[in-house]
Amino acid sequence: MTVPLIRAGAMTFLMCATIVQLSAAQDYPTFSAGAVATTVNTMSVVPNGSARMDGKLYGGEGLVTWRFLSLRASYAQGKLGIGSSVPGGTGDPADGGIVGLLLGGVIGGAGGSENPFFDLNIVDANATLGVIPISGLEIASGLKGRARYTDDESERLLLWIVRARYETPIISPQLRAYVEGWNSFAGSATAPDGSASGRGGSAGMIAGFGPVLARLSYGIDRERYGDDIRRETMDGLGIGIGWRIR
């Protein structure tokens, strides 16, 4: 864990140094916050098979910008149900985390991975601190966390990430489009062996009606656990409504 911690510390130091150099533009901070609903699909590939799950996440997000600084945070939670599963392989179910245990029949109750009433709880949270060197461009670094749990088992993922986002008006100043991507430079997980990495991105449109904001977006995340012993992909279509205060 020493090397990832050194890398995380170096990234944090560089970000703070950049913030100190770049503070001098708008006098008052801008706040925006809103609620988001996302329809998600996940695909898990583990040593003893694969499983596709789907569900809905509900939560909120917020943004504060001041001068050349930005602070973003989001939180969402929901439940995933089994879409389809393909048990197979000779790997240890425990190496696949919750999905591996489900496919191995260790959890899930009657029917295991075929149980239509099985629900997997999921929590997803992000927090980043960034700089805006030019209009529309944001470079940020921070934490991305995800927890999945049942009544019997739980697992957590924590990634240090760097993220780039570009936002620009289209057609009119009230309608904006954005694209962003992120990549991890350190990470840990409780299953299967403690190490993790990931990358992802999203794109969408934001419409402004006075202080009211509406957003439509699509995003995809991909994580790897251990020595590629397990792979997770989650994509989703999100709709958000919020307010902006200058």
**If we measure between CA atoms, which residue out of 24, 6, 244 comes closest to residue 133?**
24
Give the pLDDT confidence score for residue 1 in this predicted structure.
47
Give the pLDDT confidence score for residue 41 in this predicted structure.
94
Give the pLDDT confidence score for residue 11 in this predicted structure.
54
Give the pLDDT confidence score for residue 14 in this predicted structure.
54
Are the C-beta atoms of residues 57 and 77 closer than 8 Å to each other? Answer: yes
Give the pLDDT confidence score for residue 226 in this predicted structure.
79
CATH class belonging to 2-43+56-78+123-245? mainly beta
Tens-digit pLDDT profile for the chain (246 aa)?
A: 445 545 555 555 555 544 444 444 457 899 999 999 999 999 988 877 888 899 999 999 999 999 899 999 999 999 998 877 666 665 666 666 777 777 766 665 544 555 555 788 999 999 999 999 999 999 999 999 999 988 878 889 999 999 999 999 998 889 999 999 999 999 998 866 678 999 999 999 999 998 999 999 999 999 998 777 889 999 999 999 999 987
Q: How far is CA 7 from CA 4, 13, 71, 75, 108, in A?
A: 5, 10, 21, 26, 39
Cα dihedral sign, 19-21-24-25: negative
Give the pLDDT confidence score for residue 101 in this predicted structure.
74
Residue 58 has which token pair? 């509900």
What is the model's pTM? 0.82
Give the pLDDT confidence score for residue 120 in this predicted structure.
87
Give the pLDDT confidence score for residue 26 in this predicted structure.
52
Count Cβ neighbours within 10 Å for each residue of 187-214 and write b for 16 or more, e otherwise: bebbbbeebbbbebbbebebebeeeebe
Give the pLDDT confidence score for residue 137 in this predicted structure.
96
Please provide residue 112's backbone torsions phi and psi, each rounded to the nearest 5 degrees. Answer: 55, -120
Residue 110, SS3? Answer: coil
Amino acid at 48: N
